[in-house]
A = this chain, B = another copy of it.
Amino acid sequence: MKTIPLLLMGCGGVGRQLLQHIVSCRSLHAKLGVYLRVVGVCDSKSLIVVSDELSMELDDEFLLEVCRVKLNGSSLLTLCNSGQFQALTNSGSTRKVVDIAAVLGKSLGLALVDCSASSETIGVLKQVVDLGCCIVLANKKPLTSTMEDYDKLVSHPRRIRHESTVGAGLPVIVSINRVISSGDAVHRIVGSLSGTLGYVMSEVEDGKPLSQVVKVAKSLGFTEPDPRDDLSGMDVARKALILARLLGWRINLDSIKIESLFPKEMGPNAMSAEDFLDSGLLLLDKDIQERVTKASLNGNVLRYVCVIEGSRCEVGIQELPKDSPLGRLRGSDNVLEIYSRCYNEQPLVIQGAGAGNDTTAAGVLADILDILALFPE
């Protein structure tokens, strides 16, 4: 049995779901000859770690308790301490993670899993890759920081996995990596990579006002608490940057042309989320409806897409044939088209659910299992 110690950063939706998957997959993983030993979990405020990282683990009962506590929106510190673990806060927790990485990294192959949505994990991630650890990311922020940070994080390409940063659990990164490693140069990537914006664009196509669609999307839990986080295009831009860098492009977030669905005057610095939802959004209805109608007269539809081609990396609304894979897309599915020598006239297409904690966490777990291959049986 191959045992890998694992430390999880971020116990929000995806992280919590990952812990549940780990527990429910115990017998499946046993059949695969694998055991995931969770030595620590942390949220934004604190770290819970076993008192002896070489031999102990947070057991399944405790992991499920973590899920319950986080589902209720409480802090990890509310967990009662049975003496089996330590609780640390802030700077103490970063130091402790690095200490554990130093002990476990090269010998036992600690996997540090980042399911947070924070930029603050970059420092610890950069330190642990040098200590022989593997890192698995659902968090897009570390890979969309400076090129210097990026180069450091991918400096051991076999020790990093980040499938769930783009298209949730869809096999996007692994597919592009396979195309690249076979010498089949990718010359164009086009995709719809936001479940939220996919839903919004296909609803406005049906004639519904943008303001109404966004409010429904928010009530269905499809958007961030402030829907502008989705409508700004920044989330899609981060995914586009991750794909472009995967293709070897040395660019930063500010090199990407990003179309926001709202003007600067309605940005978070100028307007509250409530005002945006109550009045700002209404002012956007007419313009988008005119664009939808104009596209429709050409037999086309509008989609919020990312395009990586030539020296161009941009995200925004495009008018596309109704009868293309992107044009046919409905609801919150993602789709990615990869054009290369082998997939030239007809692209390699990957499509499916591109959002949701379950799917995203499943992608993270597949990454963890994949990275296990590095360690001797």
The verdict on A5 contacting chain B, using a C-beta distance below 8 Å, is no
The verdict on A271 contacting chain B, using a C-beta distance below 8 Å, is no
Contact of A374 among B25, B363, B373 (CB under 8 A): B373
Interface residues of A in 322-371 (CB under 8 A from B): 325, 331, 333, 341-343, 346-353, 356, 358-359, 361-363, 365-366, 369-370
Among A25, A157, A370, max chain B CB count under 10 A is at A370
Copies in the complex: 2
Chosen A-B contacts, 17 in total, with CB atoms closer than 8 Å, are A21-B183, A32-B181, A174-B175, A174-B178, A178-B363, A179-B366, A181-B369, A183-B365, A184-B362, A341-B358, A342-B358, A342-B359, A343-B352, A343-B359, A346-B352, A349-B350, A373-B373
Find out whether the CB atom of B362 lies under 8 angstroms from the CB atom of A353. no
Find out whether the CB atom of A182 lies under 8 angstroms from the CB atom of B366. yes
Range of interface residues on A (Cβ < 8 Å):
35 or more
A363 to B177, CA, bound (A): 11
The verdict on A209 contacting chain B, using a C-beta distance below 8 Å, is no
Find out whether the CB atom of B353 lies under 8 angstroms from the CB atom of A343. yes
The verdict on A28 contacting chain B, using a C-beta distance below 8 Å, is yes
Find out whether the CB atom of A25 lies under 8 angstroms from the CB atom of B370. no
For A358, list chain B residues within 8 Å (CB). 341-342
- A32-B157, A171-B175, A349-B350 known; 13 new pairs, CB 8 Å cut-off, are A21-B182, A169-B182, A170-B348, A174-B174, A175-B175, A179-B362, A181-B370, A182-B361, A182-B366, A183-B365, A341-B358, A342-B356, A350-B351
Contact of A349 among B181, B352, B365 (CB under 8 A): B352
Find out whether the CB atom of A351 lies under 8 angstroms from the CB atom of B348. yes
Interface residues of A in 174-203 (CB under 8 A from B): 174-175, 178-179, 181-184
Query: Whose C-beta in chain B lies nearest to the C-beta of A168?
Result: B342
A351 to B174, CA, bound (A): 15
The verdict on A24 contacting chain B, using a C-beta distance below 8 Å, is yes
For A349, list chain B residues within 8 Å (CB). 349-352
Find out whether the CB atom of A24 lies under 8 angstroms from the CB atom of B183. yes
The verdict on A158 contacting chain B, using a C-beta distance below 8 Å, is yes
Find out whether the CB atom of B352 lies under 8 angstroms from the CB atom of A182. no
Find out whether the CB atom of B352 lies under 8 angstroms from the CB atom of A331. no
A25 to B183, CA, bound (A): 6
